[in-house]
Structure 1
Amino acid sequence: MHVSALSLTDFRSYEQVDVTLEPGVSALVGPNGQGKTNLVEAVGYVATLGSHRVPTDAALVRAGAPRAVVRLRAARGDRSSLVELEINPGRANRAQVNRAPTRRARDVLGILRTVLFAPEDLALVKGDPDTRRRFLDDLAVQVAPRTAGLLADYERVLRQRGALLKSAGAVRRGRRGDEEADLRTLDVWDGRLAHLGAQILARRVRLVNHLAPHVERAYAQVSDGQGAAELGYRSSLVQAQDDEPGGAERVPHLDATTELLEAQLLEAMSRRRTQEIDRGVNLVGPHRDDLVLTLGGLPAKGYASHGESWSYALALRLASYELLTHGTPDDAAGTGISDWGEGSEPVLILDDVFAELDSRRRGRLATLVARAEQVLVTAAVAEDVPEQLEGARYDVMAGQVTRVR
């Protein structure tokens, strides 16, 4: 799979730009602030409908413009698809595939797959749990695009149930209202949250199980075998022992059958209902979970050095590439997961990563990614692009993109 053409209208700093690309390595070179990252951000947006830099779409639209448009042609073998996305801040985004409108923007998911490396990836190791949850969910969407609808439904139910918890709490504190009616309604929302949450949890657990061996191998390759990298999953269904290093619940011990997980979520919500009402917060569900990263048996966050943290972040992305390329084994029986797609090699994007790495990690990463069908690299100076990634070069300056080699 590769991107053969990219066109942006009023996206970030670009009023209009058109770029033709080829398989192999393409380096986008130019000083900071000239728009290199905006180009690869647009490619990543088509694959995930999200930015690796900002949480909302508003910042993607050029100042003063009402909307932004991203057009991208993705080629796989002898077939290609033209994807057009119209980004409308405050309103629903619109999409077309091969000039035909789609019912929803998320219907374009799955046409293009990407794995993007960026300086922000260090937060996967050192940052908060929501960063790691997003990593898992974004990867799950690329593996099975229908996961996007499931996540959207869960977020909607989460907001509605949270509002009801606050209402019930206000009644309990003596304000006017019908507590019995609120509690009956809460039972309904408990069921909806448990039903959707169980499906998300089952998908995450399966994903972590398949990702774990890839992460272990990738970390060994990037770090020269310094320590063993392992993945775990901490669920709100399990009382994690925070004072015990590496004591988080491991994935194999968490039953991934959706029916059982749904029952466990309902039981946990019932047990913690008083706390939830008192605090007005949803305390149970996959939105409270965390991907646990350990290195040599110790939590990577807080114990890993800066270099080790970078190696771990790179290993997560390299593992994602392997998983998307080769797919997942067909062992979804009992999980309710029937839409996990076959593998297809994603486009690799390296956004100003090499400037952050020491020479040893730089060389190892370049060697590992050079074999990909398409690699897009951004760099402030040409010297930051390793010689293993020689290929096409584009100079990016003041909104102009010029191929020079």
Structure 2
Amino acid sequence: MLLERLELVDFRAYAAVDVPFQAGPNVLVGRNAEGKTNVLEAIYYLATGSSHRTSSDTPLVRAGAEAAIIRAHARSDAGRQVRVEYELRRGGRSRSRVGGQAQPRVRDALGQIRAVLFAPEDVQLVRGDPSDRRRFLDELLTQRRPAYHAARQEYDRVLRQRNALLRSARGPSGPSATLDTWTDALVAAGSAVLAARIASVHALAGPAASAYADLVGAAAGPSARVQLAYQLSTGRSIVGDPDRGVPDPAELAKELRTGLDERHAAELERGVTLAGPHRDDLALSLAELPAKGFASHGEMWSLVLALRLASREVLFEVGDEPVVLLDDVFAELDEERRRRLAARCDRFGQVLVTAAVDGDVPLDGPRYAVRDRTIIPPPELVEGEGERQRAGGWGPDG
């Protein structure tokens, strides 16, 4: 996939920008707090339907505006032109359009734009809470299988209802007669989420190990061995294995139901569901030691970067090549790892990189100046964009 043009209206600090991009590396250079990250955030929103920095759309709308617009003009690997737009309303329901056509649901635009983002906050994938790692898997699955988004929403809906019944069960009336019905629904929805997540861990295992070894080099020796494992709330750990396929949802449903039965008394006492995908974790290990607590800062950065690079491979297996977004990553790497990452980036179809110092990025490609809430493309891209528009614009959307 090639992102050819990005338009932002009242998004974050940008009143209005319209920026062309080209294949290969594109480097946005500017001081901190000038808005470089906001550009990558907007592209990632197009791909996942959410921001990687906030759970609410309200902070994405520029102060004083009622709504923000993110619009992308892209070209699929097959040459089909795609136009995707999200309208984010302050305190209201967001809307999406594909090819100018309003979508019945915002999530119906998912899958049109594909992107993988590495941001400084990603170190939380190693040292943060299980919720950070669950979100990583869920965002990957939303792009790999857009229908997963609906499955996860259904699980969350059932979980909220079941938790409400468990809380009310602590009252004088005791457990509701419908609790068993909602337990059945939780098992059905939860086993679907589990099967998808575990399959994604199997798919990530090989590419993540390969990417990490490539980034750190042979000198790292045994410490370069990466292992991923999905840890269920029931206590079982499933090691990521690229030779294993999608697990049987029926077996997962049986295991989840057993876990709920074993915790039934505790759930009634605490008023909360104690087993299910919402309590699972993704275990990350280096040389058979937990990365959390044992990995150095440099190892954590390399491991998280390897996970993002592996995500690209996993997405590319089932669709268009994703756009790779790297937010100030080169500044955190030593010279050797910069060189190794740059070598990988040179093989990608399109990469957008942000940097405070141009010299930190050992990649050839156009430089965009980001300052005073504006984005200034190199002159040759501006001239080429003008010729394209005079020749007939973007043409029909696919």
User: Would the TM-score normalized by the shorter structure come out above 0.5?
Assistant: yes
Kept after mapping to 1: 8 A contact 2:199/2:246: no
Structure 1: give runs of 5+ residues left out of the alignment: 240-247, 328-341
Kept after mapping to 1: 8 A contact 2:24/2:348: yes
Superposed counterparts of 1:172-251, under 5 Å: 176=172, 178-180=173-175, 182=176, 184-225=177-218, 226=220, 227=223, 228-238=225-235, 248-251=237-240
- d(CA) in 2 for partners of 1:306 and 1:185? 49
Whether 1:277 aligns to 2:268 is: yes
Whether 1:362 aligns to 2:335 is: no
- d(CA) in 1 for partners of 2:64 and 2:159? 34
Q: How big is the shift at 1:79?
A: 1.1
Q: How big is the shift at 1:259?
A: 1.4
Q: How big is the shift at 1:220?
A: 0.5
Q: How big is the shift at 1:250?
A: 2.8
- Which residue is 1:347 aligned to? 323
- d(CA) in 1 for partners of 2:100 and 2:109? 12
Q: How big is the shift at 1:255?
A: 8.9
Would you say how many aligned residue pairs link Structure 1 and Structure 2? Answer: 372
User: Following TM superposition, where does structure 1 have runs of at least 4 consecutive aligned residues deviating by more than 4 angstroms?
Assistant: 251-255
Q: How big is the shift at 1:198?
A: 0.1
**Relative to 1, partners in 2 of residues 1:302 and 1:223: Cα closer, same or farther, differing over 3 Å?**
same
Q: How big is the shift at 1:269?
A: 1.1
- d(CA) in 2 for partners of 1:353 and 1:10? 27
Letter in 2 for 1:207: S
- Which residue is 1:266 aligned to? 257
Q: SS state of the match for residue 237, structure 1?
A: coil
Superposed counterparts of 1:12-161, under 5 Å: 12-76=12-76, 77-161=78-162
- Which residue is 1:377 aligned to? 353
- d(CA) in 2 for partners of 1:315 and 1:305? 15
Letter in 2 for 1:229: V
- d(CA) in 1 for partners of 2:245 and 2:315? 24
Q: How big is the shift at 1:160?
A: 1.4
- d(CA) in 2 for partners of 1:234 and 1:102? 36
**Relative to 1, partners in 2 of residues 1:148 and 1:255: Cα closer, same or farther, differing over 3 Å?**
closer
- d(CA) in 2 for partners of 1:41 and 1:114? 11
Identity of aligned residues (%): 47
RMSD: 1.6
Kept after mapping to 1: 8 A contact 2:204/2:240: no
Q: SS state of the match for residue 92, structure 2?
A: coil
Q: How big is the shift at 1:267?
A: 2.1
Which whole-Å deviations, capped at 9, do the CAs of 1:62-110 have from their partners, x for residues lacking one?
Answer: 1121111111112113211111111124322111111111111111111
Structure-2-length-normalised TM-score: 0.90
Which whole-Å deviations, capped at 9, do the CAs of 1:130-167 have from their partners, x for residues lacking one?
Answer: 11111111111111000011111111111111111111
Kept after mapping to 1: 8 A contact 2:25/2:345: no
Letter in 2 for 1:214: P
- d(CA) in 2 for partners of 1:255 and 1:83? 31
Letter in 1 for 2:291: A
Letter in 1 for 2:370: V
Structure 2: give runs of 5+ residues left out of the alignment: 380-398
Letter in 2 for 1:179: G
Q: How big is the shift at 1:238?
A: 2.1
Letter in 2 for 1:260: E
- Which residue is 2:388 aligned to? none
- d(CA) in 1 for partners of 2:259 and 2:331? 46
Which whole-Å deviations, capped at 9, do the CAs of 1:156-214 have from their partners, x for residues lacking one?
Answer: 11111111111112x1xxxx4x225x1x2111111111101000100111111111011
Q: How big is the shift at 1:249?
A: 4.5
